[in-house]
Amino acid sequence: FQWATSAESFKVEGGWLEGGKGETIWDRFGHDNLAFENQTADLACDSYNKVEYDVYLLRGLQVNTYQFSISWARIFPSGHRDSQTEKGVLYYDKLINTLIESGIQPVVTLYHWDLPQALQDNGGWTNPTIVDAFKDYADFCFSRFGDRVKTWNTFSSPWVVSHAGHGTGEHPPGVKDYASSSYQVTHNIIKSHAEAWHVYNDNYRATQGGIVGIALNSDWAEPKTPTNSEDIAAADRYLQFMLGWFAHPIFVDGDYSVALKTQIELKLKECPSSPPAVLPVFTSEEKARIKGTADFFGLNHFTSRLVNTVKGGCTSGPGGVGDYAAGVDPSWPSTASDWIYSAPWGLRRLLNYISLEYLSATKVPIYITGNGMPTAYSSETINDVSRVEYLRRYINEALKATDGVDVQRFTVQSLMDGFEGPQGYSERFGLTHVNFEDANRPRTPKQSAYFFSGVIENNGFGTHASEVKTARQVTFTYRSTNPTPSEVPSKSKVIWEIFSSQSKFQRKIKKTGIFLSTILKALLHCFKVKASDLELCHTLSATTLSKLMQKLGTYTMINTGLNRKEWSPLPSTLTGQNQEIPISKKTLMPQDVCCRFIDTTHFVQFYSKSV
């Protein structure tokens, strides 16, 4: 069984212009002050500069799988191959290689909502030409990373792109056209997915041996009155307009379901002058090309709904067209999100529904590619007991479902807090706390991280069936006081010690997100210091460092410019001389310099880019 966690490019990477990256629709969204408190994803968690830091956290969790998305615009700034930037490609190379070196399988999502703005300016997902653009982008990713990446999601939660991006307009590009644009977007996404699958199947599967699927999001729809046949039918329509919209063409027959088409046809007859939905039509060739284009069924699931039948009239949107209303039971535990309520039993019912509705012929496995809940920004920052309970109950339902459904992976969303779209940083989904008020973005594992690590260590809740059914809680110890976010890892005994014996010095430098071996290489490269003197260098003022250099008999001038070609070591030995080491007047984020000085603290931060 695969235990995983995830992160999405625009939510965590930052570096919005670094390495030649192009603007995305989420960059534009933030810069237009459309997110909570005018927040942006410009820096986010700074994962672009913290690969080792993030993988360190993953090693501590003991996950065997990490799911992340590639930013299309970081590789192709314009969305097309002729704009390729190698620095963006090298970032993902480094992330993939570091994961593999740590024994963690990379799972890559090609698209998680962050379309290059240049493509959006040409119509984005409403323009049929995007199918070929996505196909070419996928082909490049398969050819460049496929020797190491063996599991691919073409899209993650594409329903959100159609619904929130082109229906309600809550997400970029902010189109409010549920009657037409949202259906056209879904149509083009399905064709794009199929083309990407065929590219892999035809050109790479034989040599790389990987698999390609899609991660679809869906709530479970429970009839509000289980004995009411109309509510039962309404609940089915809810699922057809959410999950089946994408799943039926891909996993069944290459076309939209009869239930979906019939309901839309009824609405066209009811509202001839103002159709609330215009469903595009697949050609027979397109149906044949779409059918069966998935090696697994990815599921993102967070909550459930109670559904009853209503007359939607001529209102566009799934409820209006589908003639249903959806709500929640007030007894269900709420979260910081206004749409996520804890109803874990819905997961097991949804898994069984998927198995019967979509997988009876193909028999492909189900991967739970996303499950989690948010807490408020300042609530349960470290002792996130509500998330622990949420995960415990949902994981238990997934394990129960394995008795009749082929579920092979459970992915917790997400590894760390991040930029949550319109909500900005006000909602925290992470197993790891990120201090967004600190420019260094220090991370602190939450209690949910300890809990999830315990689940992984036991491969569930225990070896006995009775334990699976009752879902005993994995034991962990709460901290008596909340540590500061810079305490990574905690000074108390934590799960990170399972895999790594750390010195006090290692714990200190962990805040900067660099492995000890990388620091050693950087020091040897820049300062020519001895390994025995390494611990003297963990926090140095300019004066102290100058004295250390004199003691070692070697002095190296350090340039804080952004281009490695601009700095050159001084070869002369300056023993006994009181040379001044230059300190930057700005807080820089150099890409090709192994270290820098911050004037305010004289703290030396080491970077691995030059090694």
- Asked if 432 contacts 452 with a C-beta cutoff of 8 angstroms, the reply is no
Cα 26 from Cα 419, distance rounded (Å): 10
Q: What is the pLDDT of residue 463?
A: 47
Secondary structure (DSSP) of 148-177: T--EEEEEESHHHIIIIIHTS--STT----
On whether the CB atoms of residues 288 and 204 are closer than 8 A, the answer is: no
> Mean pLDDT, 10 residues at a time, over the chain (611 residues)?
98 98 98 98 98 97 98 99 98 98 98 99 99 99 99 99 98 98 99 99 99 99 98 98 99 98 97 96 99 99 99 96 98 97 98 97 96 97 97 97 92 99 98 98 98 96 43 28 32 36 43 43 46 41 48 36 31 34 33 31 31 29
Beta-bridged to residue 604, according to DSSP, are 597
Hunting for tokens 């820096």 — which residue is that?
43
Q: How far apart are the first and last CA of the chain?
A: 36
| pLDDT reported for residue 67 | 99
Task: Give pLDDT, residue 503.
Answer: 45
255, 249 contact by CB (below 8 A): yes
d(CA 495, CA 499): 8
* Structure confidence by residue, pLDDT tens digits, 348-393: 999 999 999 999 989 999 999 999 999 999 999 999 999 999 999 9
Q: Structure tokens of 154?
A: 């073409």
**Closest-CA residue to 61 (of 474, 600, 464):** 474
pTM: 0.78
> Are the C-beta atoms of residues 519 and 509 closer than 8 Å to each other?
yes
Domain boundaries along the sequence of the chain? 2-470, 514-606
Return the pLDDT at 462.
Answer: 62
What is the C-alpha separation between 154 and 483, in angstroms, rounded?
39
- According to DSSP, the residues that pair with 327 across neighbouring strands are 306
From CA 66, how far away is CA 180, in angstroms rounded? 36
Question: Is the domain 2-470 a CATH 3.20.20.80 member?
Answer: yes
User: How high is the pLDDT of residue 403?
Assistant: 79
- What is the phi/psi pair of residue 602, to 5°? 55, 30
- Return d(Cα 9, Cα 415) in angstroms, integer: 12
Residues 6+ apart with CB under 8 A from 331: none
Task: Give pLDDT, residue 402.
Answer: 85
Residue 560 and residue 589 in contact, taking contact as beta carbons nearer than 8 Å:
no
Per the document, the length of the chain is 611
In the chain, count H helices and then E strands: 23, 17
Q: How many whole angstroms from its chain centre is CA 448?
A: 17
SS3 for 597?
strand
Q: Is the dihedral of CA 390, 393, 399, 400 positive or negative?
A: negative
Beta-carbon neighbour count of residue 313 at 10 Å? 12
Question: For the segment 564-603, what is each residue's pLDDT rounded down to a tens digit?
Answer: 233 233 333 323 333 333 333 333 333 333 333 322 222 2
Q: What is the DSSP letter of 22?
A: P
Identify the CA nearest to 537 among candidates 594, 485, 487, 490. Answer: 594
